[in-house]
C-alpha cells in the first residue's frame, strides 16, 4: 500500500518496534483478532538490530505481507541508517550504525564481518527489497502512523526523513493542537504512552520488556 492512502477499515492494528525479537512478534501476531481480508495492519519500523533474530523477523513480516491483504511497513531509523551506509559508504555513517546493535543482525544471518554491511551482501534479495520498499509514514482512519512522531507545526509531507525517524522531545513535549492522532514508536516506554493526539507503542521489546500492538479505534492494547 502506498504511503498516504487514506482508506477506511473495520479495525486498524499497529505494531511497535520489534528489534530482532521474532518470538515476541510471532506470539503477538497470534493474539491479534485480525481479519486478514478487511483490517489494516501497520508496522512502525525498527525491525532490525539489538535483538538476536532480525533475519527471522523479516521472514515473518514477508509471510504476513503475503497473508494479510492490507499491510503497511514503515521505515525506522535503524533501517534508514543501514540503507544510508550502504548508499554512501561513508565511515561516519558506519560509526553511526555500530552502536545500534547491527552486529546482532549480522549474526542472525550467519555473518561476523562488518564488511558485508557496505553492499548489504549479507541480505537475501527478498529481504533487501523489503527494506528498500519501506515507507516513511501512512494515514488511515484519522490516524497518522510514523516511526518516531512528527516535527510539530511542520507538514509531514515535507519533513526531512531523518527528522521524522529520530524526533523525540520536540514531539513528546509539544502541547499544541495536532491535526490527527499520531501513532508512533521509537521512544521506549514501560507501558504504552497516551496523551492528546499521541499514542506511543514502543515498550522496549529488545530490552526485556513486552512487544506491543494497539487496535484502533478502540485503543485496545495487546502484548507479547
Q: What are phi and psi of 22, to 5 degrees?
A: -70, -35
Query: Distance between alpha carbon 113 and the CA centroid of its chain, in Å?
Result: 26
CB neighbour list of residue 55: distance below 8 Å, 6 or more residues apart: 105, 108, 109, 127
Domain map (residue ranges) of the chain: 22-223
Encode pLDDT of 8-57 as tens digits.
799 999 999 999 999 999 999 999 999 999 999 999 999 999 999 999 99
pLDDT reading at 78 higher than 50: yes
Encode pLDDT of 190-224 as tens digits.
999 999 999 999 999 999 999 999 999 999 999 99
DSSP strand E in the chain: where? 12-15, 40-43, 70-73, 137-140, 143-146, 181-184, 193-195, 198-200, 212-216, 220-223
Q: What's this model's pTM, rounded to 2 decimal places?
A: 0.94
Architecture of domain 22-223: 4-Layer Sandwich (3.60)
pLDDT of residue 7: 58
pLDDT of residue 127: 97
CA dihedral angle for residue 223, residue 103, residue 184, residue 72, rounded to 10 degrees: -90
Give the helix, strand, coil percentages of the chain, each rounded to 5.
35, 20, 50
pLDDT reading at 5 higher than 80: no
pLDDT reading at 4 higher than 60: no
Encode pLDDT of 121-167 as tens digits.
999 999 999 999 999 999 999 999 999 999 998 999 999 999 999 99
Mean per-residue pLDDT, 100-126: 91
pLDDT reading at 6 higher than 60: no
* 101 φ/ψ sector (left φ>0, alpha ψ -120 to 50, else beta): left
Amino acid at each position: 500500500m502506498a504511503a498516504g492512502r487514506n482508506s477506511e477499515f473495520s479495525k486498524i492494528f499497529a505494531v511497535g518496534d520489534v528489534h530482532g525479537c521474532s518470538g515476541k512478534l510471532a506470539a503477538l501476531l497470534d493474539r491479534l483478532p485480525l481479519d486478514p481480508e478487511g483490517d489494516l495492519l501497520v508496522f512502525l519500523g525498527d525491525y532490525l538490530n539489538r535483538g538476536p533474530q532480525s533475519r527471522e523477523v523479516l521472514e515473518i513480516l514477508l509471510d504476513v505481507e503475503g497473508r494479510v491483504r492490507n499491510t503497511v511497513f514503515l521505515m525506522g531509523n535503524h533501517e534508514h541508517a543501514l540503507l544510508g551506509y550502504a548508499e554512501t559508504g561513508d565511515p561516519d555513517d558506519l560509526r553511526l550504525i555500530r552502536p545500534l546493535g547491527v552486529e546482532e543482525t549480522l549474526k542472525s544471518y550467519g555473518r561476523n564481518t562488518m564488511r558485508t554491511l557496505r553492499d548489504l551482501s549479507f541480505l537475501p534479495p527478498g529481504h533487501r527489497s523489503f527494506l528498500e520498499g519501506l515507507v516513511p509514514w501512512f494515514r488511515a482512519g484519522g490516524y497518522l502512523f510514523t516511526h518516531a512522531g512528527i516535527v510539530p507545526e511542520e507538514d509531514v509531507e515535507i519533513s526531512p526523513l531523518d527528522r521524522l525517524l529520530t524526533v523525540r522531545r520536540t514531539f513528546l513535549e509539544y502541547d499544541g493542537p495536532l491535526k490527527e492522532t499520531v501513532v508512533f514508536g521509537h521512544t521506549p516506554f514501560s507501558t504504552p504512552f497516551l496523551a492528546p493526539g499521541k499514542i506511543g507503542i514502543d515498550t522496549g521489546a529488545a530490552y526485556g520488556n513486552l512487544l506491543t500492538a494497539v487496535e484502533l479505534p478502540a485503543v485496545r492494547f495487546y502484548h507479547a
